[in-house]
Amino acid sequence: MQTVRVNLGPRSYDIALTSTDPAGFAAFARRAAPKAKLALVVTDANVISHASTVASGLQSVGIHSQTAVVPAGEASKSVARLEALYDALAELPADRGTLVVAVGGGVVGDLGGFAAATYNRGLPLLMVPTTLLAMVDSSVGGKTGVNHPKGKNLIGSFHQPAGVWIDTAYLASLPDREFRSGLAEVVKYGVIQDPEFFEYLEANAAAILARRPDTLVHIVARSCRLKADVVEQDEREETGLRAILNYGHTFAHGYETVGGYGAWLHGEAVAAGMVGESRLAERLGRIPVAVTDRQVRLLTAFGLPIAGKPEWATEALIDVMRRDKKSQAGKLRFVLPTRLGHVELVDGVSEDLVREVLRT
């Protein structure tokens, strides 16, 4: 087992990374939550078998649990589903030491995490991500929340987990589309922080798509370390550094909102968003075309989209971008590359320039 430590003072925690070790979870859970006696396991309809294994592990170390199952898909990141989790916690009944264990992809992690953050003003949280996207992104860093009809993740909070348990064996049964979606966030880390990692992805694309175990462990561990490095320096997005993790996401949230939550998977939207924002950087003279071209080739190799759908109205997309969390007083801000491995937050990007990119 490998361990990635996220150093946040009293909120520090470990990301345990293993492969084919379901029995190891129980001991990890007990170390992360030494006083817990009750737990609510939150999962979705696609991974009930994994949630059952987790529940058995909790029982083996003296933590009695109930399981709340939500429908799979982005539509479950809603206030209505959140209220149902509050009901389940009340029926346990949960106290301040009750553990919430999120077993699933990013939707389950965000929804279960926000329930943990807000019920009784905060419950301990364990993340057990079962998708590549959740392993490398949403399970790490403490962002939780639900969607609103006016925008993605508009209702949320920061709530660091007590621990994250990653078993890459879960990826063996992950549908191909979901797996490829997760690769978008992996590519993102190479663009924003680590050009050598980007080169590794280029050189090993075939092995990654074949889901070779050693390759999966490497890309997940490196992605978690890169994200942890950013979170440690800017836990609550107060200095602007953590904003670099949103590369591609301003366009992406527009695609997800206008297209309808669930029409595209998050990683698919991020892939197209990265290309769009890289093309913005080109037009601003910040990067040569070659930087965008390398992203396009790698994302294409991974079977990911590189542009939004033509039927998504440009003005509707820009309207969503104005409400993006990075925007200030309605003025658009984007995370844009200056070279492969480095990005910056750029203020006051012209809407006309964004329209030009969206229409190409």
pLDDT in tens, 19-35: 988 889 999 999 999 99
* Catalytic choice (159, 218, 266, 294): 266
Cα 354–Cα 321–Cα 256 angle in degrees, nearest 5: 105
pLDDT beneath 70, residues of the chain = 325, 328-330
Q: Is 121 a catalytic residue?
A: yes
Q: Is 212 a catalytic residue?
A: no
pTM exceeding 0.75:
yes
* Catalytic choice (143, 159, 180, 222): 143
The pLDDT of residue 360 is 84
Q: Is 326 a catalytic residue?
A: no
Which amino acid is it at 325? K
| Domains, the chain, with CATH or none | 2-173 (3.40.50.1970), 176-358 (1.20.1090.10)
Specify the DSSP element, H or E, that contains 320.
helix 314-322
The pLDDT of residue 74 is 87
* Catalytic choice (50, 77, 159, 249): 249
The pLDDT of residue 152 is 76
Q: Is 249 a catalytic residue?
A: yes
Strand 99-104 to 38-44 pairing: parallel
Q: What is the DSSP string of 222-251?
A: HHHHHHHHHHHH-TTS-SSGGGGGGTTHHH
Q: What residue numbers does the annotated binding site for Zn(2+) cover?
A: 185, 249, 266
Q: Is 227 a catalytic residue?
A: yes
Q: Is 218 a catalytic residue?
A: no
Of 3, 1, 8, 74, residue with least CA distance to 232 = 8
Q: Is 253 a catalytic residue?
A: yes
Spatial separation of the C-alpha atoms in residues 291 and 180, rounded to whole Å: 21
- Return all residues near 351 (Cβ < 8 A) that are at least 6 apart: 318, 332
The pLDDT of residue 270 is 97
